[in-house]
Amino acid sequence: MKQFINDLLQINDYQAVRLLSILREIQAEFRFISKETIEILAEELNIERTQIISVVEFYSFLHLQPRGQYDILLSDSITDHMQGKPLLMDYLSEQLNVVIGATRKDGLVSLDNTACTGMCDQGPAALINGLAIPRLDKKRIDQIVDLIKQQTPVCDWPEHFFKVADNILKPGLLLNTQIQQGEALKSTFTRGLKPTLEEIDLSGLRGRGGAGFSTAMKWKFCSEENESVRYVICNADEGEPGTFKDRVLLNSYAHQVFEGMTVCAAIIGSKQGFLYLRGEYLHLYHPLQQVLRELRKIGLLGKNSVQQGFEFDIEIRLGAGAYICGEESALIESLEGKPGIPRNRPPYPVTQGYLNKPTVVNNVETFLAAAKIAVIGGQQFADLGTKKSKGNKILSISGDCEKPGIYEYPFGTPVSQILTDCGAEDVLGVQVGGPSGSFISTQEFDRTLSFEDLSTGGSFIIFNKSRDILDLVKNFTHFFADESCGFCTPCRVGTSLLKKQLDKILDGYGSAGDVVALEEICQLLKKYSHCGLGQTAANPILTTLERFPEVYQSRLKEISYEPGFDLDASLETARRLANRDDDAAHLSQVEEGS
Ligand SMILES: Cc1cc2nc3c(=O)[nH]c(=O)nc-3n(C[C@H](O)[C@H](O)[C@H](O)COP(=O)(O)O)c2cc1C
Ligand code: SF4
């Protein structure tokens, strides 16, 4: 073991910032992070043991106790549920004689749930020793069980088990044709750096990761910082349930994404970039390393052959199962080898990011679009979309429709058009923007995809009338409670209170007063949470309570119906209560009482 760790440390230059990568390798090799390992790492990396333990405890793919030789995680996204995951999970547990959430006594197998693995168009999906297996069914489970019983190493399992399809069903300006390798860089240096930034500005490109900040402004602010070292980070954490477009872009358009990062580096003056790849996309890691090697070979990375004197390289760092690490400041903490706890903002990453140096963090799709704009100029992009939302958006469509997959639309496209294209029928509603977005009902299908109206990082999940909307709300509310990083009280306590309160109502034990209390917790979470996760964690409840109050009412226990009870009036009271000045104190009381 010592030899393995020493070699690993050498490969990682004994850099404490690479702690997460080091721990991932040790976990994969020994199935846990032992006390002895922690001692060695603390000594060699010159960091506290407690710091290492806090990192192991933070990330769901790292463990202080041994996992099974076959570590199986089933994706627990609502789309996996809709595709039959719960029954398959029970069947797998029975066949392998392992309790869900535990490791079998003989150490052969562990079985657990994990948050959405980004395979919503081809679920139910699993991760086996970190590798994705989509399209599970009973037959595939039987085959997996046999392979495990025979103790066949995962690397010898049939290759087609691991085949992940792209499912690009409606390409447009961005997906129709890829740029030639080096084309964006050549255009950038021929046109000039400042004029290229002006083209990005003219294009109106706004960040595709959700918040929609102007890309040109972000790059400009970063370039203006009075520092000699700057970084470029591509956010490929893609943890929002229902989103899988970045997976496809990295599988089939990687060189264009990397070139977008390189154009950004040239403009802001950076020598080092990072791709923060979510741990769930481990299957993409080696192919992406291969793309980087090719780009170095042809002089598009490293010492640049297009422009003498320009040097830039990209390193891939894997995440380890923490949704919060998609939040840019948490991502930076994670890249620095720490738990992914969001920083106070300001300062923003453009002024103090990775290692406190100016840093641009952009989504995968943003870099893809930027490379295209560097080639075609800003106007062609700006001609598409709406006044405030220029260009095309790539959607991940899943749920109840004939053709789930990747669709590209100009901003301003109505929901009804999208539903027709993907073959959705008898629709109850659509969750736009993942759990932190909104649930829209049939009356709203003329609403449009845009920052002005329905904003989304890419998630578009369709539900037909056979579904129970409260299953969706429960899944999302549990997701937030599991993924809260626990740093601030309103979110740590609020998400777990929401989960308890919602479960009570859904299990038929709730009274009208419980619904009022539920909305009160929602408002407190929204108002006092430190970061976007907590601030949006109540959205699944709030957006459905507003549109379908009767669904909640139908679950209340019989005796709770008081004559003349008016749920709307009670909710109004809750809203007033939620605006009280002493909210924070009230939450503390709730916490104490909980
Ligand atoms: C809880 C949370 C999770 C997030 N996850 C992602 C993610 O997976 N990918 C992403 O690009 N942005 C994500 N974001 C947004 C990032 O913080 C950041 O705004 C984005 O990476 C900036 O890139 P853009 O300007 O290209 O959109 C998340 C934000 C929050 C609050
Ligand atoms: S809001 Fe939630 S996820 Fe964000 S910092 Fe607070 S506890 Fe962590």
pLDDT per position in the chain (594 positions), as tens?
889 999 999 999 999 999 999 999 999 999 999 999 999 999 999 999 999 999 999 999 999 999 999 999 999 999 999 999 999 999 999 999 999 999 999 999 999 999 999 999 999 999 999 999 999 999 999 999 999 999 999 999 999 999 999 999 999 999 999 999 999 999 999 999 999 999 999 999 999 998 899 999 999 999 999 999 999 999 999 999 999 999 999 999 999 999 999 999 999 999 999 999 999 999 999 999 999 999 999 999 998 888 889 999 999 999 999 999 999 999 999 999 999 999 999 999 999 999 999 999 999 999 999 999 999 999 999 999 999 999 999 999 999 999 999 999 999 999 999 999 999 999 999 999 999 999 999 999 999 999 999 999 999 999 999 999 999 999 999 999 999 999 999 999 999 999 999 999 999 999 989 999 999 999 999 999 999 999 999 999 999 999 999 999 999 876 544 556 565 665 565 555 444 444 444 444 444 333
Q: How far is the CA of 481 from the centre of ligand 2 (A)?
A: 10
Q: How far is the CA of 241 from the centre of ligand 2 (A)?
A: 18
Q: Residue 326 gets which letter from DSSP?
A: G
Length reported for the chain = 594
Interatomic CA distance for residues 453 and 431, integer angstroms: 14
Quick check: CB of 239 below 6 Å from ligand 2?
Answer: no
pLDDT at 584: 44
Compute the CA torsion angle 317, 249, 291, 359 (nearest 10 deg).
Answer: -40
Q: How far is the CA of 534 from the centre of ligand 2 (A)?
A: 5
Residues 6+ apart with CB under 8 A from 517: 501, 574
Q: What is the token pair recorded at 527?
A: 């108002």
Torsion sign (Cα): 265, 271, 277, 282: positive
Quick check: CB of 84 below 6 Å from ligand 1?
Answer: no
Interatomic CA distance for residues 243 and 398, integer angstroms: 9
DSSP H helices, 456-566, are: 469-483, 489-506, 512-528, 532-536, 539-547, 549-553
Query: From atom 1 of ligand 1, which residue's Cα is the shortest distance away?
Result: 533
Ligand nearest to the CA of 280: 1
Interatomic CA distance for residues 229 and 223, integer angstroms: 10
Q: How far is the CA of 399 from the centre of ligand 2 (A)?
A: 28
Interatomic CA distance for residues 181 and 147, integer angstroms: 42
Residues 6+ apart with CB under 8 A from 339: 54, 55, 57, 58, 59, 333, 485
pTM of the shown model: 0.94
Q: Is the N-terminal amide bond of 171 cis, ω within 30° of 0? A: no
Quick check: CB of 493 below 6 Å from ligand 2?
Answer: no
Quick check: CB of 343 below 6 Å from ligand 2?
Answer: no
Q: How far is the CA of 573 from the centre of ligand 1 (A)?
A: 34
Q: Which residues pair with 311 in a beta bridge?
A: 303
Ligand nearest to the CA of 344: 2
Pocket probe for ligand 2: among 331, 436, 530, 536, the residue whose CB has the most ligand atoms within 8 Å is 530
Q: How far is the CA of 480 from the centre of ligand 2 (A)?
A: 10
Quick check: CB of 435 below 6 Å from ligand 1?
Answer: no
- Placement of tokens 């070979």 in the chain: 297
Quick check: CB of 532 below 6 Å from ligand 1?
Answer: yes
Quick check: CB of 400 below 6 Å from ligand 1?
Answer: no
Q: How far is the CA of 342 from the centre of ligand 2 (A)?
A: 7
Quick check: CB of 533 below 6 Å from ligand 2?
Answer: yes
Q: Residue 584 gets which letter from DSSP?
A: H
Quick check: CB of 238 below 6 Å from ligand 1?
Answer: yes
Quick check: CB of 211 below 6 Å from ligand 1?
Answer: yes
pLDDT at 219: 98
Interatomic CA distance for residues 147 and 425, integer angstroms: 39
Quick check: CB of 342 below 6 Å from ligand 2?
Answer: yes
Looking at ligand 1, which atom is closest to the CA of residue 324? Answer: 1
Quick check: CB of 88 below 6 Å from ligand 2?
Answer: no
pLDDT at 569: 64
Q: What is the token pair recorded at 284?
A: 């993409």
pLDDT at 571: 57
Quick check: CB of 242 below 6 Å from ligand 1?
Answer: no
Q: How far is the CA of 221 from the centre of ligand 1 (A)?
A: 18
Ligand nearest to the CA of 359: 1
H/E stretch holding 113 reads: strand 109-114
pLDDT at 586: 44
Torsion sign (Cα): 475, 479, 482, 487: negative
Looking at ligand 2, which atom is closest to the CA of residue 534? Answer: 1
pLDDT at 578: 44
Quick check: CB of 485 below 6 Å from ligand 2?
Answer: yes
Q: How far is the CA of 293 from the centre of ligand 2 (A)?
A: 37
Q: Give the distance, in angstroms, between the CA of residue 585 and the centroid of all CA atoms in the same chain.
A: 32
Quick check: CB of 350 below 6 Å from ligand 1?
Answer: no
SS3 427: strand
Q: How far is the CA of 559 from the centre of ligand 1 (A)?
A: 45
Ligand nearest to the CA of 339: 2
Query: From atom 1 of ligand 2, which residue's Cα is the shortest distance away?
Result: 534
Looking at ligand 2, which atom is closest to the CA of residue 485? Answer: 8
Q: Is the N-terminal amide bond of 358 cis, ω within 30° of 0? A: no
Query: From atom 6 of ligand 2, which residue's Cα is the shortest distance away?
Result: 488
Ligand nearest to the CA of 531: 2
